[in-house]
């Protein structure tokens, strides 16, 4: 599909998610087996509930890491969150950057922006804002951010090179990023990739880990470092709907797989 067609699909799906609560989004934790043709977007998410700044209404169970844990956010920093959703990571970042910092959330889905703005209005924060915009063409001036974060979003962007070029543009000299994302390692059998895409929609846009890191480096980012890596295992019973027991054994021994990574880099 063309990039705009892909973006439209993402907007529609995440618009539906925005209209649901955390409980509704996570109540079908087994993906296709209890949701018919529905994709479970929450299977890679992590628990935020003990973090300072956490707001339950902003947590839709999305994401594949907690980038704020590794983002080295300091008091007074300006932080940009890419694909900010209902504001979950923004509110945690705000707790780190403090009252004198500034947090900007960017999302291309109107329903998410509406939900995030409603959440920040309830909280009464004057230094957190949400902007409707495209990660490949951010509504942000050059050299704005001390820190850029993102959580399981860049894999959904059709032109990842343009996205990281934009990240480089909006970062201040000496600024840095910490992004959590889904990547693939090795050549997944077609049947396994199809199963993964049915189980978790964010897998469909994932690229090879080495390619992902190279795109960051080619954008001009330095000291590219994987801060955390976790292999995400698909349930055997799901895979056995697509491949034979022998194929499953071979796949599990191959070292190939789907990984959640959190990556650091500097401008």
pLDDT one-digit tens code per residue, 95-119: 999 999 999 999 999 999 999 999 9
User: Is the confidence at residue 29, as pLDDT, over 50?
Assistant: no
CB-based burial label for 231 (10 Å; 0-12, 13-18, 19+) = exposed
The structural domains of the chain, ordered by start, are: 3-186+204-232+256-266 (3.40.50.150)
Stretch 27-43: mean pLDDT? 44
Q: Lowest-confidence range among 4-8, 67-71, 135-139, 240-244?
A: 4-8
Q: Per-residue confidence at 8, pLDDT binned at 50, 70, 90?
A: confident
Q: Lowest-confidence range among 180-184, 235-239, 245-249?
A: 235-239
Q: Lowest-confidence range among 163-172, 177-186, 213-222?
A: 177-186
Stretch 80-88: mean pLDDT? 95
User: Is the confidence at residue 36, as pLDDT, over 60?
Assistant: no
Percentage of residues in the chain with pLDDT exceeding 70?
84
Q: Per-residue confidence at 254, pLDDT binned at 50, 70, 90?
A: confident
Stretch 56-70: mean pLDDT? 89
Contacts 24+ apart (CB under 8 A), 131-136: 131/104, 131/105, 131/106, 132/106, 132/107, 132/108, 133/106, 133/107, 133/108, 134/7, 134/108, 135/82, 135/83, 135/106, 135/108, 135/163, 135/166, 136/162, 136/163, 136/166
Stretch 58-64: mean pLDDT? 85
Q: In this predicted structure, what is the pLDDT of residue 27?
A: 44
Q: In this predicted structure, what is the pLDDT of residue 35?
A: 36
Q: Per-residue confidence at 63, pLDDT binned at 50, 70, 90?
A: confident
Beta strands of the chain (E only): which ranges?
A: 78-82, 102-107, 128-132, 145-151, 171-185, 222-232, 257-266
User: Is the confidence at residue 138, as pLDDT, over 80?
Assistant: yes
Q: Lowest-confidence range among 15-19, 31-35, 124-128?
A: 31-35
User: Is the confidence at residue 80, as pLDDT, over 70?
Assistant: yes
């Amino acid at each position: 599909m063309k990039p705009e067609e892909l973006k439209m699909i993402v907007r529609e799906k995440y618009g539906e998610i925005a209209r649901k609560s955390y409980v509704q989004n996570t109540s079908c934790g087994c993906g296709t087996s209890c949701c018919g043709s529905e994709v479970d977007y929450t299977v890679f998410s992590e628990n935020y509930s003990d973090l300072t700044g956490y707001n339950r209404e902003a947590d839709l169970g999305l994401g594949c890491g907690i980038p704020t844990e590794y983002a080295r956010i300091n008091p007074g920093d300006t932080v940009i969150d890419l694909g900010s959703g209902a504001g979950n990571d923004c509110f945690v970042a705000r707790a780190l950057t403090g009252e004198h910092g500034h947090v900007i959330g960017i999302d291309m889905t109107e329903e998410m922006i509406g939900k995030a703005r409603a959440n920040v209005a309830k909280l009464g924060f004057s230094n957190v804002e949400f902007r409707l915009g495209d990660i490949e063409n951010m509504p942000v001036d050059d050299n704005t951010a001390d820190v850029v974060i993102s959580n399981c979003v860049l894999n959904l962007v059709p032109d990842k090179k343009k996205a990281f070029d934009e990240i480089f543009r909006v970062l201040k000299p000496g600024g840095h990023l910490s992004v959590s994302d889904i990547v693939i390692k090795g050549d997944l059998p077609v049947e396994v990739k199809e199963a993964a895409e049915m189980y978790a929609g964010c897998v469909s846009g994932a690229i090879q880990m080495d390619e992902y890191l190279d795109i960051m480096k080619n954008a001009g980012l330095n000291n590219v470092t994987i801060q955390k890596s976790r292999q995400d295992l698909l349930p055997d019973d799901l895979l056995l709907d697509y491949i034979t027991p022998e194929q499953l054994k071979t796949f599990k021994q191959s070292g190939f797989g789907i990984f959640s990574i959190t990556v650091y880099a500097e401008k």
